[in-house]
Amino acid sequence: MKKLISLTIASLMLLLSACGNNASSGEQPAAEGPKDLVVALGSEPISLDPQDASDGISLHATELIYDKLVTFDKDMKIVPELAKEWSMSEDGKSWTFTLQEGAKFQDGEPVNAEAVKASFDRILDKNNKLKRRSLFADFIESVSVESEYKVSFQLKFQYAPLLATLAHPNGGIHSPKNTAEKGKSVGKSPVGSGPYQFKEWISGEKLVLEANPNYWGEKPKVKSITFKPVVENAARSLMLETGEADVILPIPATDIERLKSNDQVKVELYPSNRNLYMGMNTQKAPFDNVKVRQALNYAVDKETIVNKIMMGNAKPAEAAISGLTWGYSPVGTYPYDPEKAKQLLAEAGVKPGTTIKLWTPEGRYLMDRQLSEFVQANLQAVGFNVEFRKWEWGAYQEAIDDPNSGYDLFLLSWAVPTNDADWGLRPNFSTEGSNNRTLFSNAELDALIDQGMKTTNEEERKQIYAKALQIIKDEAPWIFLVEMKQPIGVRKNVEGVYGSNTERLILRDADKK
């Protein structure tokens, strides 16, 4: 009997041992590795070429694909990225950057001074017609290679916000090999040196970035990041609640409190330097008359927008740039005064019933369609007949980039990724500004913007921008609406995701448990 029991035990141990060996050979599931992170946004990117992208959605993705010379940390301080150190000449017109050694692009090419020069030469070349040329070309004279890992920038003048501008997502460094091979299609086939690399893009469905296994810096914590365009507010919220999405942006104001009560979800409202505005085509009647532009500002009830539509997740804009942006000066809001609006319209000779066109995207900004419908009602209350049109984001971007497309009023916003007033004002309000979709032109303002760009004394710069902001308020090429907050929804098992003051969705440190 003892021998029988011993044999039985021995047989069981052999059987268990065999099962263990089978598990280790793959018959049982292995320990789970890094996961996929799904991010649902209100629209999809326009381009993955950071030097040719002017929309924030595109930059959420390009920040993962490309590295820059320098970047902002979580506290908005300039910190090294591809450049480990830098120095400025005595006259302030030459800057030299020493690069990290050993960094490589996702195609295996080295990140060196030649690559940095090639990337900036590409954007400085006006024949390439890149959307973000003016961000750099207005102050960079040339870029030169000093050694394999040293590159110098020669400036046209001392430019105070140089480092902040190089930290802009549009400063991402391309692989020269890839840009040479892909040409104009590089926005669909990007290669940078960042922690995530391009895998696939099915327009209207998803953009997939996968972890770069050879990243020179801190290794990515998730296997891939999938961006999905989800226009419907309710659908984005539902995806977060069910776990179909790990991160959503924006959260509709009506869902914020409900989502906060879900123990599987985290909701954070991040401060943002983005201003939401309604631009006017100042070259078309009746918007070529400053009284009409001021009238529209008096006609819109900003407090109700903040309290009822945004449900407190914004505040009335007191200038053309946010209070978080360096160089901000509160020049004040136009109070809600529909009678004043009617008076100014009468003085300008605008007849009741005049038809104007108001265009809006849907899903790109917090409560964008609802806000635009409210503005439509406000303007109809002072006598306009307002034709309302809702657009898909990509088509909308193309339409408002063309001054002949027929817009009168258009809802848009502006964040300042450099966090400096120069890039808050120069692209939008200078006569030749790259984003001057209102076609506004004012010689005095042009001179102030130019002066602010070339002045290095901080107090003098602040005074210059205070004067500029007052002119912009008085001339009113925008209906100044609200300073926005950035509501981001994240599943509880996701860490390392946050919103920056410059309204970037930061995903580099994302981790999914």
Nearest to 281 by CA among 412, 394, 389: 412
Third-level CATH fold of 37-187 = Dipeptide-binding Protein; domain 1 (3.90.76)
SS3 151: strand
Q: Is the pTM of this model over 0.85?
A: yes
Pairing label, strands 36-41, 224-229 = parallel
- In angstroms, the Cα distances linking 82 to 59, 69, 252 are 18, 5, 37
For residue 390, count other CB atoms closer than 10 A to its CB.
16
- pLDDT score for 11: 42
Angle between helices 338-347 and 290-299 (to 10 degrees): 160
Nearest to 101 by CA among 109, 110, 91: 110
Distance in angstroms (rounded) separating the CA atoms of residues 383 and 345: 9
- In angstroms, the Cα distances linking 47 to 53, 120, 168 are 6, 18, 16
Residue type, 397: Q
H helices present in 199-289, as ranges? 233-242, 256-260
- pLDDT score for 455: 95
pLDDT digits (tens, 9 = 90+) for 409-428: 999 999 999 999 999 999 99
For residue 288, the 8-state DSSP code is T
> Which class would CATH give 271-485?
alpha beta
pLDDT tens over the chain, length 513 residues: 334 334 333 443 433 344 444 433 333 333 455 689 999 999 999 999 999 998 889 999 999 999 999 999 999 999 999 999 999 999 999 999 999 999 999 999 999 999 999 999 999 999 999 999 999 999 999 999 999 999 999 999 999 999 999 999 999 999 999 999 999 999 999 999 999 999 999 999 999 999 999 999 999 999 999 999 999 989 999 999 999 999 999 998 899 999 999 999 999 999 999 999 999 999 999 999 999 999 999 999 999 999 999 999 999 999 999 999 999 999 999 999 999 999 999 999 999 999 999 999 998 898 999 999 999 999 999 999 999 999 999 899 999 999 889 999 999 999 999 999 999 999 999 999 999 999 999 999 999 999 999 999 999 999 999 999 999 999 999 999 999 999 999 999 999 999 999 989 999 999 999
20 burial (CB, 10 Å; 0-12 / 13-18 / 19+) is: exposed
- List, as one string, the DSSP characters of 420-465: BHHHHHHHHHSTT-TT-TT----HHHHHHHHHHHH---HHHHHHHH
pLDDT digits (tens, 9 = 90+) for 322-358: 999 999 999 999 999 999 999 999 999 999 999 999 9
Distance in angstroms (rounded) separating the CA atoms of residues 289 and 202: 45
**CATH 3.10.105.10: which residues of the chain?**
271-485
pLDDT digits (tens, 9 = 90+) for 202-230: 999 999 999 999 999 999 999 999 999 99
Angle formed at CA 433 by CA 430 and CA 436, multiple of 5 degrees: 90
The structure tokens listed for 292 are: 């009409």
Distance in angstroms (rounded) separating the CA atoms of residues 126 and 136: 11
pLDDT digits (tens, 9 = 90+) for 481-501: 999 999 999 999 999 999 999
Residue type, 285: A
For residue 478, count other CB atoms closer than 10 A to its CB.
27
Q: Cα Rg for the chain, rounded, in angstroms? A: 26
**CATH 3.90.76.10: which residues of the chain?**
37-187
pLDDT digits (tens, 9 = 90+) for 266-284: 999 999 999 999 999 999 9
